Amino acid sequence: MKIRPAKRTNSIEEYYFSVKLKEIAGMRAKGIDVINLGIGSPDLSPSTRTIERLKETSRNPGNHGYQSYTGIPELRNAFACWYKEYFKVELNPVNEILPLMGSKEGIMHISMAFVNEGDEVLIPNPGYPTYQSVSSLVGAKIRYYNLDEQNGWFPDFEALEQENLEHVKLMWVNYPNMPTGARASKELFQKLVDFGLKHNILICNDNPYSFILNDEQLSILEVDGAKEITLELNSLSKSQNMAGWRIGMVAGGEEYLREILKVKSNMDSGMFLPLQLAAVEALGNPPEWYAGLNEIYTKRREIVFDLLNVLQCTYEKHQTGMFVWARVPVESGNGEKLSEYILKEANVFLTPGFIFGSQGDQYIRVSLCTKESLLTETKMRIIDLKKNINHKVKQ
């Protein structure tokens, strides 16, 4: 290139899934039938009334202009009602909710609003890779904290208390957890709030998986003192099958949201009005909507459990979310080796756990966002693969 890129691009690489999708596309271009069980993009549709609302409002010529940076009042009210009904949290729709174009946008906005170059940020290992990449882009110093299977994939607060936390500005947490599927608890959230208050660290909980294979919705904002020191991100991507619509929110104290809005208002020009109105419909989906989704995901998960049993992986049966996180057997080496072997020999892509951090090296993650027929086909390919392995061993 004649023009050198900004130095900040040296701190990040192309997103792993972006690279892998190119590889899979190349295999398919050669006629190879690859089954992709890597990415958690819901394959189901939003509710009928959500789609109808989008169609109806899109036909109105007056609905295509710029919109408010803070979202329409109807959408903020709908988010507030959603949180009150399911999370038992009272939020003022006027100043404690800020709609976003997806919660991933919020990770950048929060980081830009509160993290100065050189500030330290606590990031979970394993954890969502975007926490690390965004922190690097804003010039933060990254401090990983380990999550361990033996500790239920919860932070080790005793270990954290022994560290020098003087320069830590922000801590990312994610419960229900991705990639491990660990469930949240009120006790955990109370410990996080107390930890943030004690050390003056902004605690940010990323909470998009709260409805998937989960009967109890929990929010860090329901804990005493939470609005003083925490923010929570949520979205309609998983709970309403609206990943491509890019509709999310951040909730918390008015003072925090005011700072985030300073960043957001300089980076977009408001969300398309019909999308906001359709989101209002989606947030009004009845409990039966979530029950129906979970019935589908439960059936899919059972098939995934079966194929993981064939691979002799171990897993927690009661994990939440739209993935299954599993430890690979010792003889498979690690998650990356097993993933690459299965892609090469069975034309099935399973996500290796190392992309979420070193604590994920011995794990793989399998998406439930695939129809039962394809999951069953995957299981049969794995069974055939194991037979071939056994046959080679006998020879």
Q: Please write the tens of the pLDDT for every residue from 266-288.
A: 999 899 999 999 999 999 999 99
Instruction: Select from 239, 256, 283 the last residue of a domain.
Output: 283
CATH of the domain at 361: 3.90.1150.10
167 domain residue, yes or no: yes
Asked if residue 359 and residue 373 are part of one domain, the reply reads yes
The pTM for the full model equals 0.94
Asked if residue 71 and residue 39 are part of one domain, the reply reads no
pLDDT in tens, 110-151: 999 999 999 999 999 999 999 999 999 999 999 999 999 999
Asked if residue 144 and residue 26 are part of one domain, the reply reads no
pLDDT of residue 2: 85
Asked if residue 300 and residue 254 are part of one domain, the reply reads no
Only one residue has tokens 């991100």, namely 233
Asked if residue 104 and residue 205 are part of one domain, the reply reads yes
pLDDT at residue 394 greater than cutoff 60: no
219, 224, 255: which is closest to 234 by C-alpha?
A: 219
Asked if residue 275 and residue 234 are part of one domain, the reply reads yes
Asked if residue 390 and residue 294 are part of one domain, the reply reads yes
Asked if residue 251 and residue 350 are part of one domain, the reply reads no
CATH of the domain at 194: 3.40.640.10
The span from the CA of 288 to the CA of 70, in Å, is 30
Tell me which of 7-11, 73-77, 192-196 is least confident. 7-11
pLDDT of residue 9: 79
What's the half-sphere exposure (Cβ side, CA atoms, 13 Å) at 324? 29
**Is the separation of the CB atoms in 195 and 157 below 8 Å?**
yes
Percentage of residues of the chain with pLDDT beyond 70:
98
168 domain residue, yes or no: yes
What average pLDDT does the structure give for the chain?
94
Asked if residue 27 and residue 137 are part of one domain, the reply reads no
Range of the domain at 375: 7-45+287-394
Report the length, in residues, of the chain. Answer: 395
Instruction: Select from 223, 255, 283 the last residue of a domain.
Output: 283
Asked if residue 318 and residue 306 are part of one domain, the reply reads yes
pLDDT of residue 391: 45
pLDDT of residue 389: 60
Mean pLDDT of 332-354: 95
Asked if residue 275 and residue 307 are part of one domain, the reply reads no
The torsion angles phi and psi of 197, rounded to 5 degrees, stand at: -65, -40
Domain count within the chain: 2
Q: Which long-range contacts (CB under 8 A, 24 or more apart) does 264-267 make?
A: 264/69, 264/98, 264/100, 264/105, 264/109, 265/69, 267/109
pLDDT of residue 13: 73
pLDDT at residue 393 greater than cutoff 70: no
What's the half-sphere exposure (Cβ side, CA atoms, 13 Å) at 329? 8
Instruction: Select from 249, 283, 317 the last residue of a domain.
Output: 283
Mean pLDDT of 255-267: 97
